[in-house]
Structure 1
């Protein structure tokens, strides 16, 4: 399939959304020196091509829920098929084929049960195409997973200053429990589908008053429960060497290493975990040379890392919510397959070739 093509204005729009995912088109137009109609049209074009999408995410640590990451080793030739089926589960995100196409990485959220094992993990362990599974509970996130870097800076310092939010929500590492009500779920699901829905659109969607929607969204954001992210098809913007780092870190150095990783531009995600290694991070580089330089310079300078396993990400099947394997060319019409309504066990039952 032909790759999507984006120009300088597209890249500026993407970087602007990474700074403020819900910035009104009118504000983007003023800062970027374009018309509101042009900005809105360009964004819709990027969304339709599956290059970018703004989505709302829950900070599980703020609501005392557990998140997991899993490594699945599959029967040869089945990894992409299994990954596609895993991606259909609404509690799975960041589903990626790694290690030369023999392994799957996925994040799994425990939405409704604070202490039990997510159903998806139980089903994966029983699947005949999965020959090995290692599950790691995220103990502390040092970065929130917000938006991968573009690799280059397309905005001026003045534009960045005008678009950067003046107030930041609490960090993902804040462990103080925050309230989340059952009545919030329709709002969260709507924003999970489209994080740029206006308050009026949200009110029409979930049948609340617009003022109630505005107030509740602002409360959840200020409490650090809800934040907005940008799903981005990284190869389109030149990030062609993404990788996962599985690290063993001296326990006394975990916090120090995690905080240092959070400050690296190449690292959109880093967390301390349970399991055979105790730190996982995602690194985004333009190519293998840049990846090598990161490993031998920035990462090598950190004190306390005892061992690092590097696994290249070969294919991304699903980001936080946006699937990528069916992305069309920019400007072409396409239909996105609907999420499956099958049970988890049905999704993961793969016919034997």
Structure 2
């Protein structure tokens, strides 16, 4: 939950919501195409986009699909002394191999995702050496993410719902893989172009670094960052997107959608029913992330609710009815220091508003 939220000074209308939904469907869609679908002018869409960026932290970020990019993801829980937790969280947010840095459980716990090449040796440096040696840490647990049921390329439903089925069909890029596609490396690519360009290479590093900053960076600026020609950049983007190796996410201050209460839910589920329960939870409107992990709890979820009462209702009426969930730990999220892209400085406050932060 962002500190100093702008929700009291900024109200989303249908155009804003349609723009956010459109960017989830195609983060690089031209404003002219979005405008045609929304029935407004290109200038209106561009103006709303700039306003949302400044006042609501809206940002499109380009990210590699971990499975196709050969990456492992570790969900790391770090218990720290309250005096050291915020400084440690800020330090973790600055690392290029982390995302999703959150302060939880009264500010004495940090939760982060660590990205590493697949293989135990590749993940040892941070998980087993750097973190335990840091002052102020009292406990560390690392959970390998085994399967994501909701999250990543699949957006939280709270960001969707503004566009009709026909509007969505007009916005989905032709290079997008079908949602039901098997993400295993053995699944056939959609075209010879995707077959040739499906894997990330060292030469893609500069491209991805630029897209993590801003997924809508122009071909010309991406060419300057990579040393490629704009035509090569365009071909590479097309190939990576067509196979699903690259996807685009949208960062946004969810308080503007009425979210005031967030929590991480750590669940232990009977293994024989893990897939059934996780699939069911992925359909719950309150959840933005559902993933299977290793560890004493084998399922984690991220809940977004309007207030504590709504969270209580969800826990007791929805999760409470699922007998396969043997244990449940609820950890309130107090602050997100880093989402999926690179961290940014504080947003410019509006006149009369507080000082919103990422």
Give the TM-score taking structure 1 as reference length: 0.84
**Alignment correspondent of 2:183:** 174
> Which of 130, 142, 149 lines up with 2:149 in the alignment?
142
Quote the Cα distance in structure 2 between the aligned partners of 1:12 and 1:182: 36
Which digits, 9 at most, give the CA deviation of each residue in 1:102-156, with x for residues without a partner?
1111111115877422533231111111111111111122223344343784445
> Which of 204, 215, 218 lines up with 2:235 in the alignment?
215
Contact 2:74-2:144 within 8 A present in 1 as well: yes
Quote the Cα distance in structure 2 between the aligned partners of 1:270 and 1:184: 29
Check if 1:197 corresponds to 2:231. no
Contact 2:263-2:302 within 8 A present in 1 as well: yes
Contact 1:242-1:282 within 8 A present in 2 as well: yes
Partner-residue secondary structure (3-state), 1:242? strand
Give 1:12-23 correspondences, 5 Å limit.
12-23=18-29
Which digits, 9 at most, give the CA deviation of each residue in 1:184-208, with x for residues without a partner?
2222122111111233432243232
**Alignment correspondent of 2:84:** 78
**Alignment correspondent of 2:65:** 59
**Over aligned residues, Cα RMSD in angstroms?**
2.8
Contact 1:240-1:287 within 8 A present in 2 as well: yes
Which digits, 9 at most, give the CA deviation of each residue in 1:43-75, with x for residues without a partner?
123223452100011111123321011111111
CA distance 1:151–1:17, shift in 2 (3 Å): closer
**Alignment correspondent of 1:343:** none
Contact 1:150-1:239 within 8 A present in 2 as well: no
Partner-residue secondary structure (3-state), 1:117? helix
Contact 1:94-1:106 within 8 A present in 2 as well: yes
Quote the Cα distance in structure 2 between the aligned partners of 1:297 and 1:314: 24
Contact 1:267-1:282 within 8 A present in 2 as well: yes
Quote the Cα distance in structure 2 between the aligned partners of 1:302 and 1:2: 34
Quote the Cα distance in structure 2 between the aligned partners of 1:78 and 1:327: 25
State the shift of 1:289 in Å: 2.3
Contact 1:51-1:233 within 8 A present in 2 as well: yes
Give 1:1-353 correspondences, 5 Å limit.
1=4, 3=6, 5-8=10-13, 9-49=15-55, 51-111=57-117, 115-117=121-123, 119-121=125-127, 122-146=129-153, 147-150=155-158, 153-156=161-164, 158-165=166-173, 167-168=176-177, 174-176=183-185, 179-323=199-343, 326-329=346-349
Contact 2:21-2:160 within 8 A present in 1 as well: no
Contact 2:79-2:140 within 8 A present in 1 as well: yes
- Unpaired runs of 5+ residues, structure 2, are 187-197
Quote the Cα distance in structure 2 between the aligned partners of 1:132 and 1:16: 42
State the shift of 1:18 in Å: 2.0
- Unpaired runs of 5+ residues, structure 1, are 338-353
Partner-residue secondary structure (3-state), 1:110? strand
- Identify the range of structure 1 (229-238 vs 245-254) with the bigger mean alpha-carbon deviation: 229-238
Give the TM-score taking structure 2 as reference length: 0.83
Quote the Cα distance in structure 2 between the aligned partners of 1:233 and 1:318: 12
